[in-house]
Amino acid sequence: MSGNGIGFELGATDGAARCGVITTAHGTVRTPAFMPVGTAATVKAMTAEAVAETGADMVLGNTYHLMLRPGAERIARLGGLHAFMNWPRPILTDSGGYQVMSLSKRRKITEDGVTFQSHIDGAEVVLTPERAIEVQRLLDADISMVLDECTPHPVGEDDAKASMELSMRWAARCRDSFEPRPGYGLFGIVQGSVYPELRFASAAALKEIGFDGYAVGGCAVGEGQASTFAVLDATVGELPSDKPHYLMGVGKPGDIVGAVLRGIDMFDCVLPTRSGRTGQAFTASGVLNLRNAGHAEDEAPLDETCPCPACKGYSRAYLHHLTKAGEMLGGMLLTMHNLHYYQHLMAGLGEAIEAGRLTEFAAGFDEPDGAETDVDR
Amino acid sequence: MSGNGIGFELGATDGAARCGVITTAHGTVRTPAFMPVGTAATVKAMTAEAVAETGADMVLGNTYHLMLRPGAERIARLGGLHAFMNWPRPILTDSGGYQVMSLSKRRKITEDGVTFQSHIDGAEVVLTPERAIEVQRLLDADISMVLDECTPHPVGEDDAKASMELSMRWAARCRDSFEPRPGYGLFGIVQGSVYPELRFASAAALKEIGFDGYAVGGCAVGEGQASTFAVLDATVGELPSDKPHYLMGVGKPGDIVGAVLRGIDMFDCVLPTRSGRTGQAFTASGVLNLRNAGHAEDEAPLDETCPCPACKGYSRAYLHHLTKAGEMLGGMLLTMHNLHYYQHLMAGLGEAIEAGRLTEFAAGFDEPDGAETDVDR
């Protein structure tokens, strides 16, 4: 990369879908990319080395969690988040807005920012657009996100508009306080709930400000896959095509495939990690629930074709036993497998785009009507 | 090995301390040996590959846990414990007696055996000497242990004598029901609490029956290191010197060093694994409690000289954070380190015996007077 900001080189395309390479201060990220979620400076149940072995180029860190514990200034004194969590590759941090809404107590939103009580110790914390950028700089995030108000679902159009406009004013303040540096970038976040006109206005406002990448926010809040796809259909075409497009907090494999078809380049979701800790495994033939007694004497691996350590060494019967017995190794192995599955999916999407056969690839991932996208992150 | 049973080749000695190699159906075990505890077919928080990387040759499985869940017959149908838990190397199983005493409800001991209620589902289970041997055969343990009554501490001499004599009758029944096979062995267990005459009588009874190895039981039940060492001083000289000597459920590093000085070859203990999950790390300079706020900004690894993955990639500050945040990775990394520490200790003991300088090596491990040996397993 040269000059300030991150690099983004577009490669093959197939319809709206794209391959690309993002270049940051800590290395490159091949897109379409799935970022495992490393909430509290750890991708739960995984060593950093094992995360790298899944093929992940970039992980996501949560500003909300890290600013509360161990604290952004502490992480900065310890050399930044990469050194702290032993992840020398690219890191994207969210801005904390989503978790303030979902986890904190007694939050109060004003024009200036949001004041809330920590869910850990009850301390009162203020998060402004300027502080969100400062925290992410202290963490040394390669890609920072603007602070936004994550609009709940469902919400009326007037409330969605007011919320989106507040987020756009905050986005401008984030841009102003973000110090340009080579290899470091700032992404804006399109809001506007399910209302196309609001999404257009939000995208236009962000383009006017100018960002290194553009995220679609406010999805994966329980609105369903069809609604998410409708938002993407209305939004992605409005985003600069020479910048990365990031769908936050999504999702199931079918959600990701559908979003890549619609021009999204980046994803994060807790689904593969959280599901692993609750006994669920993603496979080519669907989701397995390892608690199911039907697996108790099944000597087959989770997925015959998967090269991950969990599939190479351990049977479904053993994983069933570990899950029933509440053994940590169950969550460890299932998380490992699920992250391998997600990275394998992303690699498959990339190869399909290169080969111009994404439509055929995607045909295997259709979801039943009305399936919910995952609401947790 | 040739013929039935396991092999044991004695190597260098230094005073009463010995180096040796045990040969089993699934490979060799260098002694002095520490066996990580794999209670429920998993060394908690560790993959089998990571256990092997610590240098461990053999792990211990718990008959009590495995017979209740997933069941010995099920493990046999799945190819035995080695295949089930992805540990192709030697496995020793205890007989279940200790856990029946410490974990089960409403147990009743008769001449025939022990009847108890499962701590998992309340089911009534009968464990006789013959069933204990059958279960261990179903698990495919390389080394099986006789069923014994683990005498509580403190206990009067008459009760200790009656309990020991019952254990000796059970030991004879175990020997009778154990089918000799090449590479598979059965160990007897010396009981008799703190009473030297009872320990002599127990050792004599076991020698009369004849076993592939001899364990010292009834230690690590809260009697203190000095008392454990006194039992060893009275007992180990009574055991056949051409067979392995195993001190069950012990212990702290200083306990192990003192027992090796007294002629013990094999150990197991939950201390390194359990301590790892509660935030404690063994180091050359003592035990670190990672919950201590003093570690919050310490960029040093747990131990500068340790080559384990936890010490090579992660700081004390990070481990403090993970421990405080209750993250699984904290227990994973600390367990990994502690098992490396224990295997490094065993290797150091072996090298000191080879070099004839065990006394000097041991001088660094003296415990304060009255220090308790670990009572958990």
Given a cut of 50, is residue B102 above it in pLDDT? Answer: yes
Triad B17, B18, B23: Cα angle to 5°: 150
Q: What are phi and psi of B232, to 5 degrees?
A: -65, -40
Tokens 């990580």 appear where? Answer: B36
pTM exceeding the 0.90 threshold for the entire prediction: yes
More confident residue, B101 or B265: B265
Q: What are the residue ranges in chain A where pLDDT is below 50?
A: 1, 368-377
Exactly one of A142, A148, A212, A268 is catalytic; which is it?
A268
Q: How confident is the model at residue B183 (pLDDT cuts 50, 70, 90)?
A: very high
For chains A and B, CB pairs below 8 A equal 110
* The pLDDT value given to residue B299: 97
Q: Which residues of A touch B (CB under 8 A)?
A: 40-42, 44-49, 69-70, 74, 77-79, 84-86, 296-297, 299, 309, 313-315, 317-318, 320-322, 324-325, 327-329, 331-333
Chain A residues inside the 8 Å CB shell of B79: 299
> CA A280 to CA A272: how far, in whole Å?
9
What's the pLDDT tens digit per position in B129-139? 999 999 999 99
Integer Rg of chain B from CA = 20
Kindly state the helix (H) or strand (E) to which residue B356 belongs, with its residue range: none
Which of B48, B328, B333 lies closest to A328 in CB terms? Answer: B328
Cα-based distances in Å from A158 to A151, A155, A228, A323: 12, 8, 20, 47
Q: What are phi and psi of A154, to 5 degrees?
A: -80, 160
What's the pLDDT tens digit per position in B44-81? 999 999 999 999 999 999 999 999 999 999 999 999 99
Joined together, the tokens standing for residue B116 give: 């108890």
Distance from CA of B334 to the nearest CA of A (A): 12
Cross-chain Cβ contact A45/B85 below 8 Å: no
* The pLDDT value given to residue B2: 54
Active site annotation includes A94 = yes
Cα-based distances in Å from B266 to A180, B47, B59, B284, B312: 61, 23, 11, 22, 29
* The pLDDT value given to residue B152: 81
3-state SS assignment for residue B168: helix
Residue of A nearest to B68 (CA): A325
> CA B8 to CA A60: how far, in whole Å?
53
DSSP state of A179: P
Cross-chain Cβ contact A325/B78 below 8 Å: no
Given a cut of 70, is residue B301 above it in pLDDT? Answer: yes
Paired strand residues for A123: none
Distance from CA of A213 to the nearest CA of B (A): 31
Given a cut of 60, is residue B370 above it in pLDDT? Answer: no
Which of B70, B313, B333 lies closest to A296 in CB terms? Answer: B70
Mean pLDDT for all residues in chain B: 94
> Does the ipTM exceed 0.85?
yes
Tokens 């240098």 appear where? Answer: B55
Distance from CA of B168 to the nearest CA of A (A): 34
Residue of B nearest to A299 (CA): B78
> CA A227 to CA A193: how far, in whole Å?
10
Distance from CA of A37 to the nearest CA of B (A): 14
Q: How confident is the model at residue B367 (pLDDT cuts 50, 70, 90)?
A: low
Cross-chain Cβ contact A79/B297 below 8 Å: no
Long-range contacts of A344-347 (CB under 8 A, 24+ apart): A344/A55, A344/A306, A345/A34, A345/A253, A345/A256, A345/A257, A346/A32, A346/A33, A346/A34, A346/A55, A346/A256, A347/A55
Single out the residue of A33, A21, A24 nearest to residue A184, CA to CA: A24
Single out the residue of A352, A372, A342 nearest to residue A256, CA to CA: A342
What's the pLDDT tens digit per position in B310-361? 999 999 999 999 999 999 999 999 999 999 999 999 999 999 999 999 999 9
**What number is the average pLDDT over the span B216-238?**
93
Beta pairing class for A105-109 and A114-117: antiparallel
What's the pLDDT tens digit per position in B10-54? 999 999 999 999 999 999 999 999 999 999 999 999 999 999 999
Chain B residues inside the 8 Å CB shell of A313: 47-49, 86
Taking the CA atoms of residue B327, residue B329, residue B330 and residue B336 in that order, the dihedral angle to the nearest 10 degrees is: 160
Kindly state the helix (H) or strand (E) to which residue A314 belongs, with its residue range: none
Tokens 């300027």 appear where? Answer: A130
Buried b (16+ CB within 10 A) or exposed e, B288-304: bebeeeebbebeebbbe
Percent of chain B with pLDDT strictly greater than 90: 88
Buried b (16+ CB within 10 A) or exposed e, A178-215: beeeebbbbbbbbbbbbbeebbbbbbebbbebebbbbb
Percent of chain B with pLDDT strictly greater than 70: 97
